[in-house]
Amino acid sequence: LLLLLLLLLLSCTGVSNLNHEALTYAHAAAVVRGCSFPLKPSMSPAQLQRLLPFVGHFMARIIHQLITTGTCEQLQCFRQDLPVTNSRGDLRPNTAGGATRALFTKLPGVGPIMAEKWFKVGFRSIESLLEAAAADLAAAPAAPAAAAARSQIPYLARSSSSGSRLSKSCQQDSILPLSREAIYSLNYHKDLFESMPDDDVTEMRTEVLQTLTAVTPGVTDGWIMQTVGGAARGGAVHDADWVITNNKCDTKLLDGLVTRVYDNMTRSGRLVSQDEGFCRVQVGKLVGYKEKARKDLLEKTDRGNRHQLDHYDHIWGIYVTKAGKRRRMDLIFVPPDCHSWV
């Protein structure tokens, strides 16, 4: 429980990039995980600081609070949307509204910036956002397409241009900075927030494998779908992440594969399309990555980012089950010669 609370504190730092606050909690979580003796409530903060490596006075006090009460000042502030103080007692910037903003960013297509805007406007729940979204769209000028779909919130935010924002007519009287993706995710937030049952994961895997076979004529075996992410570590997950490759075919098999998979699954209604809701498709980034890696090797430069999966063809999307549930799904397409490295 103590380890879980420390990991929760790590997630509550309010930033996506590593900083010294996050590193402090990460150190503490690692120390607790590797501790060879039981941590007891009778231990004082001074004792904990003396016995635990990489733990200072501030973190020792937090660990003592967690052991004795099951919570601490920082967690309480986070849960109540209050700003968190640092070891000197100063307020940490951009920590107000931590719990609410964390809830908002669970919606596919909603990042930290949009979540912060919503919180600053005054929204504190998904329900309040849904009400505001409905009022916002109802107040917009009635274009023919919008009027026909006004009762269908997730389909109302399609843009005729870039597809990343509401149409200009809707933006003029906008109450919220809502994207098409955000509106779709809001409408299906109950599905997206649920822990994914095993049956849905199995269905998703079967559907993807069938799609891979359908879009690669003549290739009937050799496909590998390796579970990664939270599901690979066990426990409840809200999305399914897979690395996909084929160990019996040439690397050229992957050329254009992600696009064919996207087209096939959106036509069948199993994948939410880019003009409907949250879906990101990345294609062709590996070539540039390899060139950078070659230059780094020649120049003996280490950029420190070579172990990421971001340079592979990728689909970040929402899968629609046969029962009509919306589930998050990530597909990472990896050449066979890179599979062991990934």
pLDDT at 15: 44
Residue 12 amino acid letter: C
pLDDT, residue 135, reads 73
Sheet of strand 280-282: strand arrangement: 223-228, 239-246, 326-333, 313-320, 280-282
The string of pLDDT tens digits covering residues 136-179 is: 654 444 333 333 333 333 323 333 233 333 333 333 334 456 78
pLDDT, tens digit, for every residue of 242-295? 999 998 877 788 888 999 999 999 999 999 999 999 999 998 777 666 666 667
Q: What is the pLDDT of residues 305-319, one digit of tens each?
A: 555 567 888 999 999
pLDDT (mean) for 200-211: 95
Whole-number percent of the chain with pLDDT over 70: 73
Separation between Cα atoms, residue 83 and residue 100, nearest integer Å? 12
The pLDDT value given to residue 202: 93
Helix axes 2-11 and 20-33, enclosed angle (nearest 10): 160
Token pair for 19? 């900083």
User: Which of the given ranges, 55-59, 107-111, 203-207, 333-337, has the highest pLDDT on average?
Assistant: 203-207
How large is the average pLDDT for residues 319-333? 95
Predicted pLDDT of residue 314 = 92
Distance CA 243, CA 256 (A): 16
Higher model confidence: residue 91 or residue 136?
A: 91
Query: Model confidence over 105-137: pLDDT tens digits?
Result: 999 999 888 898 889 888 999 998 888 877 765
276, 317 contact by CB (below 8 A): no
Q: Give residues with Cβ within 8 angstroms of 258, minimum separation 6.
A: 281, 282, 283, 313, 314, 315, 331, 333
CA distance 331 to 229: 11
CA end-to-end distance (rounded Å), the chain = 31
Q: Give the Cα separation of 235 and 224 in Å (integer).
A: 22
Task: Determine the pLDDT at residue 32.
Answer: 85
| Other C-beta atoms lying within 10 Å of the C-beta of residue 255 | 13
Q: How confident is the model at residue 341 (pLDDT cuts 50, 70, 90)?
A: confident
Range in 81-85, 161-165, 280-284, 335-339 with the lowest mean pLDDT: 161-165
Residue 20 pLDDT grade (very low, low, confident, very high; cuts 50, 70, 90): low
